[in-house]
Amino acid sequence: MIKAFDLSGRVAIVTGGAQGLGRAMAEGLAEAGAAIVIADINEEKAAATAAEFRQEGFAAEAFRVDVAQRSSVDRLMEYVVERHGRIDVVVNSAGLNRRYSMAEITEEDYDTIMDTNLKGTFNVCQAAGKAMLALGIPGSLINISSMSSLIINRRRPVGVYCSSKAGVNGLTKAFAAEWAPHGIRVNAIAPGYFLTPLNEEWMKTQQGTDALDQTPMGRFAQPSELGPTAVYLASDASSFMTGQVLVLDGGYTIW
């Protein structure tokens, strides 16, 4: 049964994989045996992360990508197919947020959020899926949504972010429905509050305290807790699962 989680011989692309949750999922996939392509807009950080992975004995390399630009995403897929001859797993972890109220957010900030979180997810899913179809390889696409795709966070000005992630859920189901007959599975993970470097300072504020108080498990998650879920969705262990959104939020959305 444990062999179902083995990713040996498979190639996985992780966008936004240079740091935070993306890095944690990339490391989980590497530990399961996959060769990893760390695809990130921050080329220097991606290269450093890939180098650290190689020092740990994992197969890893870096590639610069801007998921909001389709030509950049196409170059990524072309590179991986040319170098490895296959794409088995893609994790769409590239994303961002802007904290503005619905009344105050500018068109520019709205576009930035949607271009990266929603259009970026579409670009990567479509380009990766088309490559898998051309190669005749069944694969797994894993989109990173958010528990905020299911709710509007209380007393936090993140309505457009929530909307972008709700769109990710819709895209996940749409791609899953079309590509299921071809053996390409598309699922999403919806994380709650994770203790990443980008969140550490915010978690010390009153808003962070409020968020902790609203989490039934009474703690923030560690990034390493996300890796096993990515492995599950990437591997044969989830071979009959597609079009689903798995929520890892410590119970936040129960209430």
The residues annotated as belonging to the active site are: 161
Residue 54 CA to residue 48 CA, distance in Å, equals 10
Say how many C-beta atoms besides its own lie within 10 A of residue 22's C-beta. 28
Sign of the dihedral through C-alpha 73, 242, 170, 116: negative
Say how many C-beta atoms besides its own lie within 10 A of residue 8's C-beta. 9
**Contact by Cβ (8 Å): 53, 227:** no
Residue 251 CA to residue 190 CA, distance in Å, equals 12
DSSP symbol at 33: T
Encoding tokens for residue 100?
Answer: 């503005």
**Contact by Cβ (8 Å): 198, 20:** yes
β-bridge pairing 35-40 and 89-92: unpaired
Q: For residue 122, give the amino acid letter.
A: F
